Amino acid sequence: MEFNKARKIIGIRVLSDNVIWIWENNNSAVVIDPALSQPVIDYLKGNNLNLEAILQTHHHLDHIGGTVELIKEWPNVKVIASVKEKDRIPFQNLSVKEGDTLHLLDEEVQVLEVMGHTISHIAFYIHSKVPVLFIGDTLFSAGCGRIFEGTYKQMYDSLKKIKSLPKNTLIYCAHEYTKSNLLWALDLEPENQNIKNKLIEVEKKIALKELTIPCLLEEEMKINLFLKADNLKGFSYLRANKDLWV
């Protein structure tokens, strides 16, 4: 479970490495990418929270697998997903696109399209003094998503969009891949002290059974080789290298 000071956001680890984020305020909650329903139901009911909305970053089963059961428990819940994914996320009831603004839990949430992992992946950005980005499978701590449907150029542009956000943005990604991403990065840059230090910090957290995410954009700019790539060719090389790394 992880908290941030400005607002309460907790992470529930499920499946092998997914993290479901629950953002709560007063007696309401918003769930991001529920891979499973039961851990979410248990948490919300145990804390007397009404489920106001489900945010879906993309259509993969380990992001939408719990949604139908959650709708049965909370029939009035808003299910917010890309307008381009009406076929693959058919239970959406509030379809959004790049640039839309939502009002959730007394805050403004902007929709960003971040293609690459899929052709219609979106992210949700809470624009405030302590900005938050729910990024799904586009960026991970020290890594980025695999390019399943989109192009290298789309993913590179998506990362540029993330880099343009305020440096104090907290990034909530959907998988706990940090340690293996850091080991890969150290294979490529064995002398990189920032990455070495981060690995030590991450291993301590893992030993304590803590999540290693969310991550801070400012720190990612130092340790995430994909964010550090400053041209498409360099980015593409890294992505192809990581796909083959074991």
Active site (catalytic) residues: 58, 60, 62-63, 117, 137, 175
Minimal distance, residue 218 CB to Zn ion, in Å: 25
- Restricting to residues 89-108, name those near Zn ion by CB under 5 A: none
> Which residue, 61 or 200, is less far from Zn ion as judged by CB?
61
Residues 204 and 38: their CA atoms lie apart, in Å, by 29
Residues in contact with Zn ion, total (CB under 5 A)?
2
Residues 189 and 191: their CA atoms lie apart, in Å, by 6
126, two tokens: 């809470």
> Which residue, 18 or 192, is less far from Zn ion as judged by CB?
18
Minimal distance, residue 151 CB to Zn ion, in Å: 16
Minimal distance, residue 93 CB to Zn ion, in Å: 22
> Does the protein bind Zn ion through residue 176 (CB under 5 A)?
no
Only one of the segments 93-101, 130-138, 176-184, 185-193 lies at the binding site for Zn ion (rule: CB under 5 A); that segment is 130-138
Taking CB under 5 A as the criterion, the residue among 52, 137, 176, 220 binding Zn ion is: 137
> Does the protein bind Zn ion through residue 60 (CB under 5 A)?
yes
Residues 20 and 208: their CA atoms lie apart, in Å, by 19
Whether residue 39 is preceded by a cis peptide bond, meaning omega within 30 degrees of 0, is no
Pairing state between β 139-140 and 132-136: unpaired
DSSP per residue, 30-65: EEE--S-SHHHHHHHHHTT-EEEEEE-S---HHHHT
87, two tokens: 């076929």
Minimal distance, residue 202 CB to Zn ion, in Å: 22
Per-residue burial over 188-210, b = 16 or more CB atoms within 10 Å of its CB, e = otherwise: eeeebeebeebbeebeeeeeeee
> Which residue, 61 or 246, is less far from Zn ion as judged by CB?
61
Pairing state between β 78-82 and 94-96: parallel
> Does the protein bind Zn ion through residue 59 (CB under 5 A)?
no
> Which residue, 6 or 119, is less far from Zn ion as judged by CB?
119
Minimal distance, residue 168 CB to Zn ion, in Å: 26
> Which residue, 113 or 137, is less far from Zn ion as judged by CB?
137
Contact residues for Zn ion (CB under 5 A)?
60, 137
